[in-house]
């Protein structure tokens, strides 16, 4: 796979080029292209006739990174995304898709350069605004657990948490991140928030928000707020694995609908 240099990291990149419309697919915190495939969040598997760019965010999967929390702020990840789009799809409008951290990265990039995107499919938006404060503290505690007890202890503690009903059939996975980098990723996530509501409300990009129920890390309240802020946005809520199984088709329809 080719790599792409950004300040402080080398990103591992994969382009599935079948001609047609450009699409960029991101992943969530501690995940990767490979892990999202296992978690049934690789929505690009339902696409054909597109130029689909997938990549591992800095510090994740096969990409490199530094143990510097500020490197993993969503604004920095948005910088990385825009550099990738400049290189792979210069001058073109792109459809963006991604869950959680990937959703946040897309939003930060879209409010900065809204003309770059002709559609967004945002999956399981993370905690934001008022709900971000408590989650940031969770991330700081997780960083200490990894430093003092190791990644295995962090993973074991996570097994006790109830799973959202829509994910009960997904296999158990572990972070696709080097253990030495994981505390910096968590501390970086604690520094993040979505753009403010007023800024998001100025977006004029066709948007679909895909959420699921009973997940404190990805509360339905964030998805509902995003859908209410972006003019014309559509919200779809999954409560079963079968509902999530429809998501690749929703992305396929979104990409087809927003092509010029």
Rounded to the nearest 10 degrees, what angle do helices 101-112 and 74-88 cross at? 70
The number of residues making up the chain comes to: 260
Task: Give the Cα separation of 62 and 11 in Å (integer).
Answer: 8
Task: Give the Cα separation of 132 and 127 in Å (integer).
Answer: 5
Instruction: Give residue 46's pLDDT.
Output: 80
Q: Taking the CB of residue 189, how many other CB atoms lie within 10 A of it?
A: 27
CATH of the domain at 169: 3.40.50.1820
| Residue 185: its H or E element | helix 182-190
Q: Taking the CB of residue 21, how many other CB atoms lie within 10 A of it?
A: 22
Instruction: Give residue 259's pLDDT.
Output: 61
Q: How far is CA 215 from the centre of its chain?
A: 16
**How many domains does the structure of the chain reveal?**
1
Question: Coil, helix or strand for 144?
Answer: helix
Tokens of 46: 């339902």
Q: Which domain holds residue 108?
A: 3-258
Whole-prediction pTM value?
0.97
Token match 């960083």: residue? 143
Task: Give the Cα separation of 34 and 27 in Å (integer).
Answer: 10
Q: What stretches of 87-243 adopt beta strand conformation (E)?
A: 94-99, 117-123, 207-212, 234-238
Instruction: Give residue 161's pLDDT.
Output: 82
Give the pairing type, strands 9-17 and 50-55: antiparallel
Instruction: Give residue 51's pLDDT.
Output: 96
DSSP-derived secondary structure for 102-120: HHHHHHHHHHHSGGGEEEE
Query: Average pLDDT of each block of 10 consecutive residues along the chain (260 residues)?
Result: 93 95 97 93 91 98 98 98 98 97 98 96 97 96 96 88 91 94 98 97 97 96 97 97 96 84
Nearest to residue 100, comparing CAs of 118, 122, 82, 69? 122
CB 117 within 8 A of CB 96: yes
Instruction: Give residue 162's pLDDT.
Output: 87
Instruction: Give residue 111's pLDDT.
Output: 98
Task: Give the Cα separation of 28 and 19 in Å (integer).
Answer: 27
């Amino acid at each position: 796979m080719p790599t792409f240099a950004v300040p402080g990291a080398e990103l591992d990149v994969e382009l599935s080029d079948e001609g047609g419309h450009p699409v960029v697919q991101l992943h969530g915190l501690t995940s990767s292209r490979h892990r999202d495939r296992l978690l049934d969040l690789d929505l690009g598997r339902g696409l054909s006739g597109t130029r689909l760019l997938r990549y591992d965010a800095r510090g994740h999967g096969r990409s490199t990174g530094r143990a510097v929390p500020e490197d993993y702020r969503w604004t920095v990840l948005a910088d990385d995304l825009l550099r990738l789009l400049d290189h792979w799809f210069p001058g073109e409008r792109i459809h963006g898709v991604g869950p959680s951290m990937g959703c946040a990265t897309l939003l930060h990039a879209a409010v900065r350069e809204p003309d770059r995107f002709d559609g967004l499919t945002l999956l399981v938006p993370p905690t934001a605004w008022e709900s971000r404060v408590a989650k940031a503290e969770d991330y700081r505690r997780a960083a200490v657990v990894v430093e003092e007890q190791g990644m295995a202890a962090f993973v074991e503690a996570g097994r006790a948490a109830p799973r959202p009903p829509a994910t009960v059939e997904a296999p158990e996975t572990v972070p696709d991140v080097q253990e030495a980098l994981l505390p910096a990723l968590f501390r970086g996530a604690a520094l993040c928030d979505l753009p403010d509501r007023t800024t998001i409300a100025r977006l004029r990009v066709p948007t679909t928000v895909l959420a699921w129920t009973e997940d404190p890390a990805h509360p339905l309240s964030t998805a509902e707020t995003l859908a209410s802020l972006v003019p014309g946005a559509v919200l779809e809520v999954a409560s079963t694995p079968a509902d999530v199984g429809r998501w690749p088709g929703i992305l396929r329809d979104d990409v087809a609908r927003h092509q010029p």
